[in-house]
Structure 1
Amino acid sequence: MRVAATATRREFRTWRDGRPFWAGLFTFAAGLPIIYFPYAHLKFGAIPLALSTSAGAGSLIIGVLLVALAVSLWFHQQARVFAGIAVILLALVSFPVANFGGLLIGLTSGLIGGSLACAWIPPTAAAESQPAANPASTTIPAGEDHGGT
């Protein structure tokens, strides 16, 4: 049982490292409060708090788009820059439309998720752009002259 759990964790870690996982997770977490708060009936003690507004449809559209962009970040990494910019724009639009961006929870999470999506670099490109592992092999020994005057 423990070996299967270890193998599953290793497979998940490999899957997670090959895509902007945290960007998708923050984006997914941004969509949920934006969808939830306009339709929730909250109570603080004996005080009912209704956040239902005429912008409920706008909140639903923004929240569903954020969840869809999160899934696309996980399964279609080539669209990460487009998805990141779209997430940032939707998060900013959610501030006036969707109860201050899901009480600032969705707004903040969306801005973080969109920024992470734009900044993420695929692992193969990241490995190629790093300098050589052995810097001593690329230096010129001190006593040699290579065509200089």
Structure 2
Amino acid sequence: MSAESTGSRGFTYWRLRFRAWRGTRPFWAGLFTLLGGLPIAYFPYAQLHLGNLTLAMSTTAGAGSLIIGVLLVTLGLTMWFQSIVRVFAGVAAILLALVSIPVSNIGGFLLGFLFSLIGGALSISWAPGEPVRPAAGPDTPRGAPVPDDDPFFPEPRDGEAPNVPDMTAQANGGRKSAG
């Protein structure tokens, strides 16, 4: 390795990449929904051993609980990797959380129900951020006006009308006159 080489990509590189990935999608909504699906799917099939006593939580709705739990986990992953359908996934997660109350041991003993409900609400309320406009230079404070020669946000040239449609009210309803 030479003195100029950065070597292997370290922890900081992957942490910053994960942070950038996480910022472009409803990460916490997906995590809560995914974590909500696990107890809903697990508890109907769990067996708790207390000494010689075995407690089985299996119910007649065990298959329904498994389906609800797997769907919630799938919706959580969908929120991460297909964030364009976040509203649908959020509504579906809330509905599945509500259905899990009578079907799956009070929604995974309210743990899975609450996680899924919060995850669905976070998914519905999440919106992608607006891109940050680049500043004029490294010494310009954040939020300062951008210079006119910015190629990403062009201003109209002299004598050129801005690219904004005319929305003024007309007495004739906006129709062209016949004459």
Asked if Structure 1 and Structure 2 have the same fold, meaning a TM-score greater than 0.5 normalized by the shorter chain, the answer is yes
Give the root-mean-square deviation of aligned CA atoms. Answer: 2.2
Distance, in Å, in 1 between the alignment partners of 2:51 and 2:36 is 27
- Change in Cα spacing, 1:44 to 1:134, as seen in structure 2 (3 Å) is farther
Q: Which residue of 2 aligns with 1:18?
A: 24
Aligned to 1:146: none
* Contiguous gaps of at least 5 residues in structure 1: 136-149
The one of the two structures with greater contact order (alpha-carbon pairs below 8 A, sep at least 6) is: 1
1:62 to 42, 46, 68: 68
Which of 110, 117, 142 pairs up with 1:104?
110
Kindly report structure 1 stretches of 4+ aligned residues shifted beyond 3 Å. 44-47
Alpha-carbon deviations, 1:26-66, whole Å to 9, x = none? 00000100111011101345543211001000001100100
Size of the aligned set, in residue pairs, is 131
Please give the alpha-carbon distance, in whole angstroms, between the structure 1 residues aligned to 2:66 and 2:52. 28
Letter in 2 for 1:32: L
1:8 aligns with 2:14: yes
Counterpart of 1:38?
44
TM-score normalized by the length of structure 1: 0.80
Q: Which SS does the other structure have where 2:76 is aligned?
A: helix
Shift of 1:124: 2.5
What is the letter of the counterpart of residue 116 of structure 1? L
Higher helix share: 1
% identical equivalent positions: 57
Cα deviations across residues 104-149 of structure 1 (Å, max 9, x unaligned)? 1100000100000000011227x69xxxx469xxxxxxxxxxxxxx
1-structure distance, mates of 2:81, 2:69: 19
Aligned residue for 1:121, secondary structure, equals: coil
Distance 1:21 1:5 in 2: 20
Aligned counterpart, 2:86: 80
Larger Rg: 2
When residues 44 and 2 of structure 1 are mapped into structure 2, their CA distance, relative to the original with a 3 A threshold, is farther
**For residues 27 and 99 of structure 1, what CA distance do their matches in structure 2 show?**
18
TM-score by length of 2: 0.67
Distance 1:96 1:2 in 2: 52
